[in-house]
Chains A and B, each alone.
Chain A
Amino acid sequence: MELLERYLAAVAAELPVDQQQDIIRELRANLLDQIDAIQQDGPLSDAQLSQLLLQQGHPVDMAQRFAPSAPLVASEDMPLYKTVLWHGAALLAVIALLKSLGGLILADSINPVRLFLQLGFSFIDSFATLLLIVTAVFYLCGRAGWTKEWRQRQWHPTRLPRYPLARMKLSDSITDLTSTLFLLLLLWTPLWLSVEAQQHLPVRLADGMEHWRYLLTFFAALSTAFALYRLTQLSWQRWSKWCYIADHLVFAAIFAAMALTGGVFTEPQQISDGARFFWTHAAGSISYILLATAAVLVLLAITEYRQLRRL
């Protein structure tokens, strides 16, 4: 009978504390009945008892059948959960890379192994926090029934897109949201970078060019709000497609204007060797990067316009 008690103790260990006593009491009674049935043919051997307990299944499985644990994220919410995590991870990877490059500029010497480890640990550290927060949000929203309510509110046959092209992809909306949040992070480094690190950034806005920061912040905030709105929609409407095209063109115009204005960016207050190298050899590339970004946005706007004509 010692085996029986060991089995019950193992099951109890896997049960919620408030249900342990009651479930184990009942399981013991049931198993004793089965043992009684076996003993009608003769004394119970350890081998028979072992066989009986093996039939019951692993203590963890048995405990799960009595008190199934609810998953942290419901299976219906998994697609959205995974999309949010993937995009969050991409954003964090870029931030970790920027931080590591910032550290590289400050460093006296370059150690590739140290750089790689710093990048890896910085990413893992921030991703663990993201995972915790996103899982907690999905768990709490799932328990409150908000995720189901959100899906139900979105869904109606008349809101389904008429054509495949009109389908609003959730991943696209989250990508746009991630991009605008990243832009806001870049614009507002004073809010999340130390003063020392800011002084050593390879580029900063030149004096008298602060209006670009506010202009970009205004449109990035609008773009963020629009991306959030699109998360609640299933299909494109003509007006929302027009807004999306305008969003691309506004940013293209701003980036092009910044590139053509010149003198928008300047060297840091405390210039390091890395930053000096950048400003000596590659400062002109900022304008080209801005122009290339503007060109890509115009191309995207043209693609969207073509889709709009087919809606």
Chain B
Amino acid sequence: MNDDRLDKLRLELRRGVLVLAVLASSRTPQYGYSLRKQLNDNGIEIDEGTLYPLVRRLAEQGLLDSQWQMAEGRERRYYQLSAVGAEVLAQLSAEWQQLHGSLATLLEQQ
């Protein structure tokens, strides 16, 4: 399989778990760049063009609360998990654990 196709498959595989990763990383207040850095530091690479619109969409869905704050002489928009977002995160986490277990079994069979 060529690299392009592998990259696309890899992107598809990661896309589904990005929401989970962003919600989990937003338990503490985060602004766009800090969130990206935290994800990268934890091995989840995501480009800005994907992350920033995703964060806004999650905020529009009520899963993240947001507010503008002044920091280091500049304004930044901070995001934090909302009450609804915390519930959704718990449900998605459980779903992920179950999926991970099932997948691990499947992969071990090979």
**A residues whose Cβ falls under 8 Å from a Cβ of B:** 23, 25-27, 29-30, 32-34, 37, 55-57, 61-62, 65-66
Contacts and interface: CB of A to CB of B under 8 A. Distances in A.
A29 B33 CA distance: 9
Contact of A65 (B34, B50, B76, B77): B50
A66 B77 contact: no
A33 B34 CA distance: 9
Given A34-B33, A65-B53, A66-B56, A29 B48 contact: no
Given A26-B32, A30-B32, A34-B33, A55 B56 contact: no
A62 B56 CA distance: 13
Contacts of A26: 32, 52, 56, 77
Interface string B65-81: 00000000011110000
Contacts of A57: 49
Question: Which of A27, A29, A34 has its CB near the most chain B CB atoms (within 10 A)?
Answer: A29
Given A26-B32, A66-B53, A55 B48 contact: yes
Contacts, number: 43
27 contacts: A25-B77, A26-B32, A26-B52, A26-B56, A26-B77, A27-B52, A29-B74, A29-B75, A29-B76, A29-B77, A30-B32, A30-B33, A30-B52, A32-B74, A33-B31, A33-B32, A33-B33, A34-B33, A37-B33, A55-B48, A55-B49, A56-B48, A56-B49, A61-B49, A65-B50, A66-B53, A66-B56
A88 B75 CA distance: 56
Interface of B: 31-34, 47-50, 52-53, 56, 74-77
B49 A30 contact: no
Given A27-B52, A29-B75, A29-B77, 18 more contacts: A23-B56, A25-B77, A26-B32, A26-B52, A26-B77, A29-B31, A30-B31, A30-B32, A30-B33, A33-B31, A33-B76, A56-B48, A61-B49, A62-B49, A65-B52, A65-B53, A66-B53, A66-B56
A33 B37 CA distance: 11
B24 to A, nearest CB: 20
A61 B76 CA distance: 23
Please provide the 8 A-B residue pairs with the shortest distance between their CB atoms, ordered closest to farther: A33-B33, A30-B32, A65-B53, A66-B53, A57-B49, A26-B77, A29-B76, A56-B49
A29 B68 CA distance: 10
Contacts of A25: 75, 77
A contact face: mostly helix, strand, loop, or mixed = helix
Given A26-B32, A29-B32, A29-B74, A34 B49 contact: no
Contacts of B77: 25-26, 29
Contacts of B76: 29, 33
A56 B52 CA distance: 11
Nearest to A63: B53
A126 B60 CA distance: 43
B48 A34 contact: yes
Contacts of B50: 65
Contacts of B53: 65-66
B38 to A, nearest CB: 13
A255 B41 CA distance: 80
Nearest to A66: B53
B15 to A, nearest CB: 13
A61 B53 CA distance: 11
A267 B92 CA distance: 78
Contacts of B33: 30, 33-34, 37
Contacts of A34: 33, 48
